[in-house]
Structure formats: structure tokens, C-alpha cells
């Protein structure tokens, strides 16, 4: 079983739509959780960390459910510039390796 599983998509949504991505992880001892964004042929860039209490950054909301080992990312009012691959990332805590999902592809259509 993979450490982190994501629906690869693709998700094609119109501008202004709300879209949600989900991710599950297998290691219940995981301590750190992130969403990264990766544009085509570029490096991943940190979008936001994910906390148990949930966190919001503008149009982006991330949620963590430790009991279900489930992470989500909600994007409201999608913009064309949101088109990218979104990577779910899980880590053991301080230091050491992160486990990446395969990424979910999003295309926002005019």
C-alpha cells in the first residue's frame, strides 16, 4: 500500500468554481502534513501546511482528519492561475523524509 494516495484527476473546472482534493495516508504516526503546488516542469512549491484544527489562506482551506487519516484541500473561486498539480505531502515530524502523493492535476477553464 502506498504511503500517500491521491486521486490523480484530472479535474477540469470553470473559473469561479469550488474544487476539493482529497488524500489519504497510511502511517498513523505521521506528524506533519502539507499541500504543495507544482507547475508543469517546475519544482514543487509549498502551498500550505495542514493542521488538525484546519487552516485557511485566502481562497484555500486545508483540513486534516487524523482518525480517518485523511487530508483535504478546498479551493474556492478558482482562477486560471490555479491550474497546476497539487501534491499531498506527509511527514513523520521534524526532519527526515516526506512522502508525496502522485499529485492531482487541476485545469481551470475560462
Partner 1 sequence: ETGVTQSPTHLIKTRGQQVTLRCSSQSGHNTVSWYQQALGQGPQFIFQYYREEENGRGNFPPRFSGLQFPNYSSELNVNALELDDSALYLCASSSLEEHEAFFGQGTRLTVV
- Quote the CA–CA distance of 15 and 81 in Å, as a whole number: 10
Q: In whole angstroms, how close is the CB of 57 to partner 1 at the nearest point?
A: 14
Q: Which of 78, 83, 80, 90 is nearest to 35 (CA)?
A: 90
Q: Min. distance of Cβ 77 from partner 1 in angstroms? A: 26
State how far the alpha carbon of 97 is from the alpha carbons of 18, 39, 40, 74, 94, in Å. 32, 22, 23, 25, 9
Minimum Å gap between C-beta 104 and partner 1 is 10
| Cβ closest to partner 1, residue 32 vs residue 69 | 32
CB-wise, 28 or 43, nearer to partner 1? 43
- Please report, as ranges, the residues that interact with partner 1 according to CB under 8 A: 4, 31-32, 34, 41-46, 49, 87, 91, 93-103
Cis preceding linkage at 10, omega within 30 = yes
Pick between residue 87 and residue 108 the one whose CB is nearest to partner 1: 87
Amino acid at each position: 500500500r502506498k504511503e500517500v494516495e491521491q486521486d490523480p484527476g484530472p479535474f477540469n473546472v470553470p473559473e469561479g468554481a469550488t474544487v476539493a482534493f482529497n488524500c489519504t495516508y497510511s502511517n498513523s504516526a505521521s506528524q506533519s502534513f502539507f499541500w504543495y503546488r507544482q507547475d508543469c516542469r517546475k519544482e514543487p512549491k509549498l502551498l500550505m501546511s495542514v493542521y488538525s484544527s484546519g487552516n485557511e489562506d485566502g481562497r484555500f482551506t486545508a483540513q486534516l482528519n487524523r482518525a480517518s487519516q485523511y487530508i483535504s484541500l478546498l479551493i474556492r473561486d478558482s482562477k486560471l492561475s490555479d491550474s497546476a498539480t497539487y501534491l499531498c505531502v506527509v511527514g513523520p515530524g521534524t526532519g527526515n523524509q516526506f512522502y508525496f502523493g502522485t499529485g492531482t492535476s487541476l485545469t481551470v477553464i475560462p
